[in-house]
Structure 1
Amino acid sequence: MTSVADNTFDPSSAQRLPQLSTSHLTPGAPVGPDGLHRSPLTPPPTPIISDNGNGEKLTVSAKHLQHHTLQPEFISEYTLGDELGSGGFGFVVSATRKSDHKEVAVKFIFRDKVPVHGWAKDPELGVIPMEVYVLRNVQHPNIISFMNVYQDFKFFYLVMELHGTPWSTSNPLLNKNNNSNANNMPTSMIEAMAAATLNQRNGMTGSNSTSSSTSSNSFTSSSTSSSSSSLSHSGSDNELYVEPPKPALLVRRTSCDLFECIEHHSKFSESQARMIFKQIVECVDYLNSRGICHRDIKDENIVIDNDFRVKLIDFGSAVIIPRPQGKLFDRFYGTINYASPEILKGEKYRAESAEIWSLGILLYTILYGEVPFNDPVQAISGPYISPRVRSSPECLHLLNWMLAKAPERRATIEDVANHPWISGLSLSA
């Protein structure tokens, strides 16, 4: 692959680092079993459900897509399913490819919310979001795979592979007899979706549907578990019973990420932690060799399956670092809990060394099931919370090296990738 360093489209400007006031953060932190304040592994995401003003509760994706006509080529190839996640710049839903019934993830990126620095110029596609550009130009077993991209006046549709295991026991997909989704739907929505399914089965255009029904190319039912049972005979050829299909986009599926996996397992053994972390290090090392920095490494941006195979997702904050001179940044990207001391102090910083700090926070979280610092003040100048689980000297050596307060004393990604703990060797060997 050719270098991507020269294809950035105006890499300047985002919001400058605020002068952080941290004194208010500690009192609001949750309290752990030992009586100490504990920050959550990752701050809570954007609320999943919103009110549409009529008393009906909608997921973020349903709110934005129920009256939006999807790009024709996309809807001819895919059927939308459940919401997987949402944030400030877009939302992710599952979809099923009609040609082979393969399930994928589709990230809808708001065009008007991509920041000035968040664009890149692709020789084939023109100016596109940096996230799309990076995924289209990288290939690694531990990075989510790019499949396709579509666009309309409002969204870019980034189609990616779907990876991971639903870890939450509250996930409705884990209960095959769960019918509460349809039972809790507004009646008009059930009728609209039933009519849309019947129209599709009969080859109708849907022109006789009521005004409350959305068009079949803008709000379709999932084609996974419910499609086979949505239409049945009730006794005669003229009487058909239409079973309401699963409400597309009204269901929030668990996101299959490392955050949920850690909550499910509480903590991992050191060998399990090493297996998970090594995969993350390998893909970050690969990105570094391509001049790319993710800048938002955290548990929520890693999806993981039952075999603990992980893939890095969400490249919305990624940046291409000019080589060999590098670059100093004075603006903050990412998540506060994973921000390095130099970022928290409002200093100019190098993205590469800040990424190592984030990896250190992540390793601590995987090992011990909690974050290492109660608040930014402790992250800037205090030691991390003493683990309640013993770790090997090799593991602690790597952890301390990555969480060095001064960036110039911090390990590089090459140091981490070649560390004895990653390779399973002893420091004394």
Structure 2
Amino acid sequence: MNAAYNQPYYHNKAQPKPSSACLMNYPLHPDFLANYIIGEELGAGGYGFVVSARERKTGIERAVKFIYRHMVPSHSWVKDNTLGHIPMEVYILKNIRHPNIIGYVDSYQDHCFCYLVMELHGTQWTGSPDNSNFPRSPALSETSQSTCSSFLDSPIEEYLPEPPMIKRRTSCDLFECIEKHNYFQEPLAKMIFQQIASCVAYLDILGICHRDIKDENIVIDDQYQVKLIDFGAAVVLPRHYGDHTKYLMTQFHGTVSFASPEILMGRPYKAESAEIWSLGVLLYTILFGEIPFHDTKMAIAGRFAQPKVQVSPTCLNLISWMLQRSPEHRPTIHQVLMHPWFSEF
């Protein structure tokens, strides 16, 4: 857990990794091949990569996450009545439905991968597919992102010949949308954030905590409709099974610049309270185009940077409440949604 705290604090878009290249010569599941045609790479991370795929029968485009089986911890496998043993991420998406959460479509498994087929949502916000060459605003650029999960190459890449790269599609996430706009006016920021808070509240009722809320894990279209993605760090909390005692987490697999003070100090933490902190960082970023804390010392102290854009006092009140240093002083997600800011204008 403590390995994350020696990494740079800054927030920047992670550079794509050539993970999907291994699919060029990989024998995909025959049932998957019968139903889908592989398209472009959409992203990559510590547990796998995501590509687009088109349904052969309907022509509908989907997102397919290829999860390295050997990267999924033993405690993150669960038994599903119809699919057998599957990663927690697949299990959660299969069993939830919300307009602001990416929808589950199908899943497959072979000896190397779990295939998670999902709906594809969002607008491409940058003009060039080479994100490394895209000019970034100083607010979010000039920095580098850190996540607690490090990327490990799949063993199959060790013996496959060097294949041509699958073309990478430009991103549809909120990070790129913020970069495009620099920041959002308060009414639009409210509309975006309310959707995110709504799906987090839905998950909370089910006893599920996402644990990696950030702008890169939210896809957004040109109507500013958002959907939460990437449940790779999500957990089902014990209270969902009737245990209402306070449960503290000891592992962290999220993003350091969205991590709460108790996580940054390496202490056991309550997932729900840490999630509220991440939402506070996210709201600040949506409104002002930059993260609220320039380093871990600022975050641990709970002192966020003075906003450069003027917003309403009630808005600042909500941000301050979510970014309380003490987790006991932060609101619940349901208190967030009942805050007066949402009824203004």
Q: Distance in 2 between matches of 1:413 and 1:388?
A: 26
Identity of paired residues, percent? 55
* Partners of 1:80 and 1:391 in 2: CA distance: 45
- 1:251 is the counterpart of 2:167: yes
1:121: how far off? Answer: 1.6
Query: Which ranges in structure 2 are unaligned for 5 or more consecutive residues?
Result: 131-159
From 106, 128, 141, the equivalent of 2:86 is: 128
Q: Does 1:20 align with 2:5?
A: yes
Task: Supply the AA of the counterpart residue of 2:19.
Answer: V
Q: In structure 2, do the counterparts of structure 1 residues 370 and 333 end up closer, same or farther at CA, with 3 Å as the change threshold?
A: same
**Structure 1 counterpart of 2:40:** 82
Give 1:166's aligned residue: 124
Query: In structure 1, what residue type is equivalent to 2:103?
Result: S
The one-letter code matched in structure 2 to 1:284 is V
Contact persistence 1:364–1:371 (CA under 8 A): yes
Question: For the Cα contact (< 8 Å) 2:193–2:283, is it kept in 1?
Answer: yes
Q: In the alignment, which residue of structure 2 is the partner of 1:287? A: 203
- 1:19 deviation in Å? 8.3
Q: How far apart are the structure 2 equivalents of 1:21 and 1:295?
A: 20
Q: Which residue of 1 aligns with 2:19?
A: 60
**Could you list the runs of 5+ residues in structure 1 that have no partner in the other structure?**
1-15, 27-38, 49-58, 173-211, 220-246
**1:127-206 correspondence to structure 2 within 5 Å:** 127-171=85-129
- CA deviation after TM superposition for structure 1 residue 351, in Å: 0.2
Following superposition, the deviation at residue 332 of structure 1 comes to 1.4
1:338 aligns with 2:258: yes
The Cα RMSD (Å) is: 2.0
Q: Distance in 2 between matches of 1:280 and 1:44?
A: 20
If the length of structure 2 is used for normalisation, what is the TM-score? 0.86
| Equivalent position SS for 1:359 | helix
Per-residue deviation at 1:124? Answer: 1.6
Q: Please give the residue correspondences for 1:213-228 in structure 2 after superposition, counting only pairs within 5 Å.
A: none
Task: Select the structure of larger CA radius of gyration.
Answer: 1
**Alignment of structure 1 residues 373-388 onto 2, 5 Å:** 373-388=293-308
Q: Is the 8 A contact 1:301 1:314 kept in 2?
A: yes
Which deviations, in whole Å up to 9, do the C-alpha atoms of 1:123-171 show, x marking residues without a partner? 2212100100000000000000000001111101100000000000113
Aligned position for 2:153: none
Please give the alpha-carbon distance, in whole angstroms, between the structure 2 residues aligned to 1:250 and 1:290: 38
Match of residue 45 from structure 1: 14
Deviations 1:226-260 (A, max 9, x none): xxxxxxxxxxxxxxxxxxxxx8x621101200000
Aligned to 1:179: none
Q: Trace 1:224-303 onto structure 2 (pairs within 5 A).
A: 250-303=166-219
Matched position secondary structure for 1:81: strand
Runs of 4+ aligned residues of structure 1 deviating over 6 Å after TM superposition are none
Query: Structure 1 residues 399, 334: CA separation in 2 closer, same or farther (over 3 Å shift)?
Result: same
User: 1:66-113, CA deviations, whole angstroms, 9 ceiling, x for partnerless residues?
Assistant: 221010010011000000000111000000001010000000000000
Query: What TM-score, normalized by structure 1, do the two folds share?
Result: 0.70
Tell me how far apart the structure 2 counterparts of residues 405 and 381 of structure 1 sit (CA, whole Å): 7
SS where residue 284 of structure 1 aligns?
Answer: helix
Task: Give, as a single letter, the amino acid of the residue that structure 2 aligns with 1:103.
Answer: E
Sort the Cα spacing of 1:315 and 1:19 in 2 relative to 1 into closer, same or farther, 3 A.
Answer: closer
Residues 193-230 of structure 1, C-alpha deviations (whole Å, 9 max, x = no match): xxxxxxxxxxxxxxxxxxx999xxxx9xxxxxxxxxxx
> Which position in structure 1 is the counterpart of 2:231?
315
Total equivalences in the alignment: 312
Structure 1 residues 274-313: Cα deviation after superposition (integer angstroms, max 9, x where no partner): 0000000000000000000000000000000000000000
